[in-house]
Amino acid sequence: MELSLEQKFQEKIDRDERIEPRDWMPDSYRKTLVRQISQHAHSELVGMLPEGNWISRAPSLRRKLGLMAKVQDEAGHGLYLYSAAETLGVERDTMFDQLHSGKAKYSSIFNYPTLTWADIGAIGWLVDGAAIMNQVPLCRCSYGPYARAMVRVCKEESFHQRQGFEIMLTLCQGTPEQKAMAQDALNRWWWPSLMMFGPNDAESPNTKQSMAWNIKRFSNDELRQRFVDMTVPQAELLGIKIPDPDLKLNEETGNYHFGAINWDEFWQVVKGHGPCNKDRLAARVKAHEEGAWVREAAMAYAEKQENRLNKAKTA
Amino acid sequence: MKNNDLFKYTLQLADDVMILGHRLSEWTGHGPVLEQDIALSNIALDLIGEARNLYQYAAKQEGNGKTEDDYPYKRDVLQWTNALIVEQKNGDFAQTIVRQFLFDCYHYYHLEALSKSTDEQMAFIGAKSVKEARYHLQYSAEWMVRLGDGTEESHARMQQAIEDKMHYFEELFIPTAAESRLVESGVAVDLAPIRVKAYAKLNEVIKESTLKLPEDIYTQQGGRNGVHTEHFGYILAELQYMQKSYPNMQW
């Protein structure tokens, strides 16, 4: 019996082979990937803003260079990811339009403000830590260009995570004022970091299909649990307290039980009502609009050059 | 025993690249094109990296327990000796590119000569940074041409930027007394031949960009003596925010 295109596609996935841009794929697979990869790319781009906010105020030359390099890496990640999404037939400008109009989402974590230097440590430690949990399995994602982009992204993210932890460690070994700053940052970033894994499995209708397509390898709740289990001992090492009175080690499973996540807050921020949603989007729109003349000029110049070359050839 | 001239010269070179790098880093996350966001950040990283090498050298010369961070984070306006051009605001991308190109015209040839300094450490820093500065000059010159010879709007913005920034160019070639004394021993770079090379490059690129140099160029100066523009205090307010709010802590 002849297999349908869709059956052949699924068989390939089931053999854990990669799908490449020219391969046949179901529309829904393509759409899911475009949504996920562009969302991921947007998160890198918007994610530059809260940390970029501290570049001019970083406390030492070493920290300034480290932070600049980190934020620049995020721009690079955005670039790989937009390129990966482009292989699915969507232009970067279209994706930008979707971001700017609010149609496309980005990770809600970047809608929280960076108020003190410790926030730069906490973002590296927690936010990049959570991102790695999410992203390492994506290195084995069924879509080839995405998987390959993620290999590079993950290498850099793990460096960022260590850099963030090291900032926290320095604060925690510093003066009482510095340690309090670290504790405050943990208090503010802990719960939003847990929310980064998305809604509970029962509330996440797309997970099943994404797992069948090998886009996703683990459920939101599984990854969240791993993150908590990894992070609790690190907080103990730092000597600061995770702001969850219900946090408790389950001796039988070896997992940490944690308290209820405030999903109302999560959905409010997703809807655009987080503390920085408006500022973040406005900053992106401003950069894009104010850059329009630069992009137009570059195009015009390239065109002129091409004409000059053609003229020279025919002359 | 500290050589006061060398110490001053070291700080002056460091201050130029420190402040320009700081200014450029304000673009990070706000660039007109993602690729250019990355490129500007890259140049900023190179410049602050160079500043760091020079500040470390200054600290070594002082030899009294000072560190690389003491100079950028603990000196007030009057103690900074960078040229005025580097502290000018970013403005639009045209203003940033023109500021960068003018500085690169000086910086590249200056480093090339510095790499032959009779002072070993200066020669080392010069040789290390000149490779980066060659790329900076190539980058900013390309954008001078692309924007100068792009659209009507980009041309007008670039012409305006030239009008605004040219007055700060000449200061880069005026040696301080300490610098002149160091030229004799081959430690500092003689700026006269650097100026010739820089102007040649400038004229070449201005022509290719279809831009014009202003007819009436007057020279703004003062930075080398600590007399800065009004922008400078605000740069320090941000740069030194943590040191001022939380003095003497490790970060």
- pTM confidence score: 0.96
How do residues A269-294 score in pLDDT, each as one tens digit? 999 999 999 999 999 999 999 999 99
Which is it for the CA torsion A305, A308, A314, A315, positive or negative?
negative
Phi, psi of B238 (to 5 degrees): -80, -50
Average pLDDT, chain B: 97
**Residues in a beta bridge with A256:** A249
Give the whole-angstrom CA distance, residue B150 versus residue B155.
Answer: 6
Q: A68 at the B interface (CB within 8 A)? A: yes
Closest CA to A171 of A117, A97, A221: A117
Nearest-CA distance A160 → chain B (Å): 17
**Average pLDDT of B15-38?**
97
Of A177, A293, A304, Cβ closest to residue B149: A304
**Residues in a beta bridge with A19:** A143
Give the whole-angstrom CA distance, residue B92 versus residue B119.
Answer: 39
How do residues A210-266 score in pLDDT, each as one tens digit? 999 999 999 999 999 999 999 999 999 999 999 999 999 999 999 999 999 999 999
Q: B233 at the A interface (CB within 8 A)? A: no
The three-state secondary structure class of A143 is strand
How do residues B148-202 score in pLDDT, each as one tens digit? 999 999 999 999 999 999 999 999 999 999 999 999 999 999 999 999 999 999 9
**What CATH fold (topology level) applies to the domain B4-212+227-245?**
Ferritin (1.20.1260)
Per-residue DSSP letter, A108: G
In which residue ranges of chain A is pLDDT below 70? Answer: 1
pLDDT at A1: 67
Question: What is the share, in percent, of chain B residues with pLDDT greater than 70?
Answer: 100
Nearest-CA distance B18 → chain A (Å): 10
Give the whole-angstrom CA distance, residue A147 versus residue A201.
Answer: 23
Q: Which two tokens stand for residue B243?
A: 């040191």
CB contact under 8 A, B251 and A117: yes
Q: B246 at the A interface (CB within 8 A)? A: yes
149-178 of A, contacting B, C-beta below 8 A: 167, 170-171, 174-175, 177-178
From the CA atom positions of chain A, what is the Rg in Å?
Answer: 22
CB contact under 8 A, B251 and A297: no
**Residues in a beta bridge with B5:** none
Angle between helix A61-86 and B34-62 (nearest 10)? 160
pLDDT over threshold 60, residue B1: no
Helix (H) or strand (E) holding A249: strand A248-249
pLDDT at A2: 81
The answer to whether residues A75 and A45 touch, using CB atoms and an 8 Å cutoff, is: yes
68-87 of B, contacting A, C-beta below 8 A: 68-69, 72-73
What is the widest separation between alpha-carbon atoms in chain B?
58
**Residues in a beta bridge with A248:** A257
Give the whole-angstrom CA distance, residue A103 versus residue B61.
Answer: 57
Regarding an ipTM greater than 0.95, the answer is yes
pLDDT at A3: 86
Domain assignments of chain B as residue spans, ordered by start: 4-212+227-245
